[in-house]
Chains A and B, each alone.
Chain A
Amino acid sequence: MTTGTLRDQLNPRLSRRKSIGTIFFFVFMAAVLIGIVSLLILLGQVLLEGAPWLKPHFITNYPSRHPEQAGLLSALFGTIWVMGLVAAFTVPIGVGAAIYLEEYARKNWFSSLIEINISNLAGVPSIVYGLLGLALFVQWMAMGRTVLAGALTLTLLVLPIIILASREAIRAVPNSYRLAGYALGADQWQVVRSIVLPSALPGILTGTILALSRAIGEAAPVIAISALVYLTFIPTDPLDRFTVLPIQIFNWVSRPQDEFRGLAAAGIVVLLVILLSMNAIAVFLRNKYQQRPNE
């Protein structure tokens, strides 16, 4: 009777239940740590293996059979080309679709068809987009295995991302802003152009950056378009053949020699530096402009 508090006497299993709770707290925390530790190991492993190969000529040389001379110049420029073209295609189409869905569309079968369709497209495996691009752009539109065909394919792949992000940004613009515009006599397009779009711009930019970083990290659809080519030139117009960083990395990973594995790690470092700095810009934009205006 003297041991334990009154609560323990009323509910003798409480201390047991509490210690089970503590155990599970650590189990849940361990689960979070697994993800984070894996990320750290992955980054550490890549840096460790890649560092010896990261020399200036790695950036300025073309791929080569001799590991110590090999570089990723053609893949780097291919990625830059793809990024530029994808940005040029996705931004107008994606933002346009988002404006339609948020500002113009009424709730009817057509707008809900488009909405369901966009969420389904986001779940289609990227390699299937590659097959679409191979049939549609490379073969039927006779573009051949070119930068343009690759960029168009990736445009379709990342379009759902940019549409969803832009819609969210447009939806966050307070309705009072629009009403104020209409009260001044503006028509719908003037309200969209000079009130909604400027306010939604940070969100749209963030979505664009995330979509582009998805596009330049994709290898599978680009392999279907470009095949595994060995290029020693930089694409100079959209109808040139091309390769991109993830494909160059894949090419090096699939060779059995250790030297090429090292080159692959170095290529991954370059790719991750590009991707992480893009993500950092996106996060910065999001944090800088996230304060919601008062309604």
Chain B
Amino acid sequence: MGTGELSDRSIGFRTAEMLAAERQKRRRRSVIQGRVIRWFFILCALVSVLTTVGIVVSLVVQAWGFFVEVSVWEFISGTRWTPILKPQSFGVLPLVVGTLLVSLLAAAVALPIGLATAIFLAEYAPDKLRRVLKPVLEILAGIPTVVYGYFALTFVTPLIQNIIPDLLVFNALSAGIVMGIMIIPMVSSLSEDAMIAVPRSLREAAYALGSTKLEVATKVVVPAALSGIVASFILGISRAVGETMLVTIAAGATPKMTFNPLESVQAMTAFIVQLSLGETPHGSLQYNTIFAVGILLFIMTLLMNVLGFWIVRRWRQVYS
């Protein structure tokens, strides 16, 4: 624009019409440029939609080859999972049970501790302490899961073996406990957000009626923030169901219909990794099997996430 004005001045002979035409040309160029840029941004936003479409399409297409050979019913109701060994059997329930067992153990650790942490941060901790504690918990959330796997296998399992000597090297118990520690920050930060959103006036009303701090926290704040807290629980469990490296390293690779936490199990995610370690040829039945398990995993976590968001939206108390 600067050079344009300069040349205008240096020529000096321009009718008003010429200037107007030039200005219009410039404006048209800027309109076109604006439109191109706008479309670029729309495309960027579309990438996220295309990702979802891509996930669904790639899972369904690849799993198609599997469900041609194994019926859906046999897959979801069978209780024997031996896809590699002969005789092959493709009942996915042992993997589902393995996943659920570890996730339930994780929930037993993470939900109470996460909620208590959130209550402490939201209701008790002075501002300065909270500003120190929150980043530390964020570090806990940022540690790669392969590190948690190492921790479960080389530290927690030997520790528990001191108490329960017949605990196997690979077991659901230590994987579940460490996974619980891993999702504490997720549960606590979402719950804390919900509690902080509860208006001060509710707390003050309860204090005015003579409540102690604990009573305010548990009888006023927690019920008022319940939708957010429940959502944080569901999202935390969903995270546990989809978690991969920790269960692969620490929980073992033996698909088994057991709810005994001392045994070695195999989670759905761990199976996918196990088959991915070797380069399974494209199109083989085994290759397609990981996509069939992937679909089930995707559906399970999607349902939980949708439920979590729905609870937040449906049951949120709106305070004006």
Residue positions of A touching B, CB distance < 8 A = 11, 17-18, 20-21, 24-25, 27-32, 34-36, 38-39, 41-42, 45-46, 49, 92-97, 99-101, 104-105, 113-114, 117-121, 123-132, 134-136, 139-140, 145, 156, 159-160, 163, 187-189, 210, 213-214, 217-220, 223-224, 227-228, 246, 249-250, 253-254, 261, 264-265, 268, 271-272, 275-276, 279, 283
Contact = CB atoms under 8 A, between A and B. Distances in A.
B112 interface: yes
Contact of A32 (B38, B54, B117, B213): B117
Given A96-B45, A120-B302, 6 more contacts: A18-B212, A31-B120, A49-B154, A104-B41, A131-B62, A224-B276
B140 A265 contact: no
Nearest to A271: B144
B150 interface: yes
Chain B interface secondary structure, helix, strand, loop or mixed? helix
Contacts of B135: 283
Nearest to A252: B150
A125 B212 contact: no
B249 interface: yes
Name the residue in A24, A95, A227, A254 with the highest tally of chain B Cβ atoms < 10 Å from its Cβ.
A24
7 contacts: A24-B214, A35-B184, A38-B181, A120-B52, A128-B301, A217-B143, A279-B142
Contacts of B49: 113-114, 117
B19 interface: no
Size class of the contact patch on chain B: 35 or more
B51 to A, nearest CB: 5
Closest 3 CB pairs of A and B: A125-B242, A96-B44, A217-B144
Given A128-B294, A135-B62, A187-B30, A25 B52 contact: no
Nearest to A7: B210
Contacts of A130: 272, 276
A206 to B, nearest CB: 12
B185 interface: yes
Majority DSSP secondary structure for residues of A touching B: helix
Contact of A223 (B148, B235, B276, B298): B276
Contact of A100 (B44, B298, B305): B44
Interface centre among A93, A97, A123 (most CB of B within 10 A): A123
B42 A100 contact: yes
B44 A93 contact: yes
A36 B135 CA distance: 11
B306 interface: yes
B249 A126 contact: no
Interface string B155-171: 10000000000000000
B48 interface: yes
Contacts of A188: 34
Given A217-B144, A219-B245, A97 B235 contact: no
Contacts of B117: 28, 31-32, 35
A169 B226 CA distance: 29
A121 B48 contact: yes
Given A32-B121, A132-B58, A189-B37, A126 B242 contact: yes
Interface of B: 30, 33-34, 37-38, 40-49, 51-52, 54-55, 58-59, 61-62, 112-114, 116-117, 119-121, 124-125, 133, 135-140, 142-151, 153-155, 181, 184-185, 188, 210, 212-215, 235, 238-239, 241-245, 248-249, 269, 272-273, 276-279, 282, 290-291, 294, 297-298, 301-302, 304-306, 309
A272 B113 contact: no
Nearest to A279: B142
Contact of B290 (A100, A113, A131, A159): A131
Most buried by A among B61, B62, B144, B148: B144
Contact of B302 (A95, A101, A124, A219): A124
A250 B214 contact: no
Contacts of A94: 44
Given A120-B306, A132-B58, A35 B119 contact: no
B272 A246 contact: no
Given A96-B41, A97-B41, A132 B151 contact: no
Contacts of B146: 217, 219, 246, 249-250, 253, 268
Contact of A17 (B37, B40, B215, B272): B215
A180 B30 CA distance: 19
Contacts of A124: 55, 242, 298, 301-302
Contacts of A42: 143, 147-148, 151, 155
Contact of A11 (B138, B184, B210, B290): B210
A219 B124 contact: no
B124 A250 contact: no
A159 B47 contact: yes
Given A46-B150, A96-B40, A120-B52, A220 B136 contact: no
Q: Which of B47, B61, B185 has the most CB of A within 10 A?
A: B47
A28 B116 contact: yes
B51 A39 contact: no
B133 A32 contact: yes
A159 B34 contact: no
B277 A223 contact: yes
